[in-house]
């Protein structure tokens, strides 16, 4: 079934009307790239494609959700001029908030684990965001707890801040229902058979899987997560030991895979050296998961998400391993 390429999500079209040349109008509609070298041993009728989300102006898939949550806040009247955007983040959503805040005139304050990569912290600071570094051992759950406590301790803070709450805000997954999922259907002419995505806020998986299932309930939607609570997959959650996001819908999961940090590191290096794709660690994990799925097939089109580029992880030591 041939589908026309969707330029942007409908709500974004409405609010950004007349801004076709603006920075924010460039969010979404990212390329779908076929993998070749690493997939050479798969059956000829099996293909793996990845959405190249570093093409978003803020450099990651999180631009989509951040923009949709901010626009939803403006529409509802919860976000007005003079308010500060505040949220917990592992880095990428925070960068998206900071970029969009700068473009639309909002101050941004972010709680993130102290062990977030130096590159992410430097990017956030240069966008003008104020950083609150939280206990690294508590991960993003600890950052969430800090923000909730800050807002609860003083009722006046609710008038000062706009809290998108990316883990519980339906505008997060709706960005992918209206954007990412529709783009995948258009770019594969509706031929996608399997979708693979990691679980962090779970917005990318939930929204995209829901759109694909709406189109064809036979499309298999597979999630993946780290294999233990102590892992090196920045932005990912081990749901069994973490606070489960309110937007997560387990009914959409046909299968859940567990990925080791070591296999993700190795695959991230391989993607750079064998495919010319310099991507982040979560993309390496996504490729490991996509190959696991593809190896069970005789034919099919597997689509996954490469969330960001490798430039935000240059200080990570795994790059030095041979």
Torsion angle defined by CA atoms of residues 50, 55, 56 and 57, in that order, rounded to the nearest 10 degrees: 170
Annotated active-site residue 282? The verdict is yes
Task: Name 269's Cβ contacts closer than 8 Å, sequence gap at least 6.
Answer: 284, 318, 319, 321
What is the Cα–Cα distance from 17 to 214, expressed in whole angstroms?
Answer: 28
What is the Cα–Cα distance from 95 to 97, expressed in whole angstroms?
Answer: 5
What is the Cα–Cα distance from 73 to 128, expressed in whole angstroms?
Answer: 21
Whether 196 and 224 have beta carbons less than 8 Å apart is answered as yes
CA distances from 310 to 36, 64, 264, 313 (A): 19, 19, 13, 5
Annotated active-site residue 62? The verdict is yes
Phi-psi region of 139 (alpha: psi -120 to 50; beta: other; left: phi over 0): left
Write out the two tokens for 201. Answer: 């806020």
Q: How many residues does the chain have?
A: 322
DSSP codes, 20-73: TTSSGGGSS---EEE--STTTTS-TTEEEEEEEGGGSTTSBTHHHHHHHHHHHH
Strand 107-113 with 46-52, pairing: unpaired
Write out the two tokens for 100. Answer: 């969009």
User: Among candidates 300, 45, 76, which has minimal Cα distance to 169?
Assistant: 76
| Choice among 62, 121, 220, 237 that is catalytic | 62
Whether 42 and 294 have beta carbons less than 8 Å apart is answered as yes
Catalytic residues: 62, 282
């Amino acid at each position: 079934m041939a589908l026309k390429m969707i330029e942007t999500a409908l709500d974004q079209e409405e609010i950004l009307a007349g801004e076709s040349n603006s920075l924010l109008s460039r969010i979404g509609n990212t390329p779908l790239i076929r993998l070749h070298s690493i997939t050479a041993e798969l059956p000829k009728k099996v293909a793996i494609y990845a959405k190249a989300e570093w093409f978003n102006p803020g450099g990651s898939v999180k631009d989509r959700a951040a923009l949709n949550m901010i626009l939803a806040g403006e529409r509802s009247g919860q976000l007005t001029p003079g308010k500060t955007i505040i949220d917990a983040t592992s880095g990428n959503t925070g960068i998206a908030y900071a970029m969009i805040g700068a473009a639309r005139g909002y101050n941004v304050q972010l709680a993130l684990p102290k062990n977030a990569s130096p590159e992410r912290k430097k990017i956030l600071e240069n966008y003008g965001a104020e950083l609150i570094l939280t206990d690294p051992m508590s991960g993003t759950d600890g950052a969430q707890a800090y923000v909730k406590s800050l807002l609860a301790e003083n009722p006046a803070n609710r008038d000062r801040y706009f809290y998108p709450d990316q883990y519980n805000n339906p505008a997060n997954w709706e960005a992918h229902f209206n954007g990412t999922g529709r783009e995948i259907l258009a770019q594969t002419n509706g031929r996608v058979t399997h979708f693979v995505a990691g679980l962090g806020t779970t917005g990318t998986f939930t929204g995209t899987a829901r759109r694909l299932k709406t189109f064809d309930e036979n499309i298999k939607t597979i999630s993946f997560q780290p294999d233990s609570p102590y892992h090196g997959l920045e932005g990912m959650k081990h749901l069994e030991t973490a606070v489960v996001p309110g937007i997560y819908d387990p009914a959409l999961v046909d299968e859940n895979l567990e990925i080791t940090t070591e296999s993700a590191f190795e695959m991230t290096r391989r993607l750079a050296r064998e495919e010319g794709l310099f991507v982040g660690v979560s993309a390496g994990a996504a490729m490991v998961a996509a190959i696991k799925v593809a190896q069970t097939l005789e034919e099919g089109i597997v689509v996954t998400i490469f969330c960001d580029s490798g430039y935000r992880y240059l200080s990570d030591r795994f790059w030095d391993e041979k």
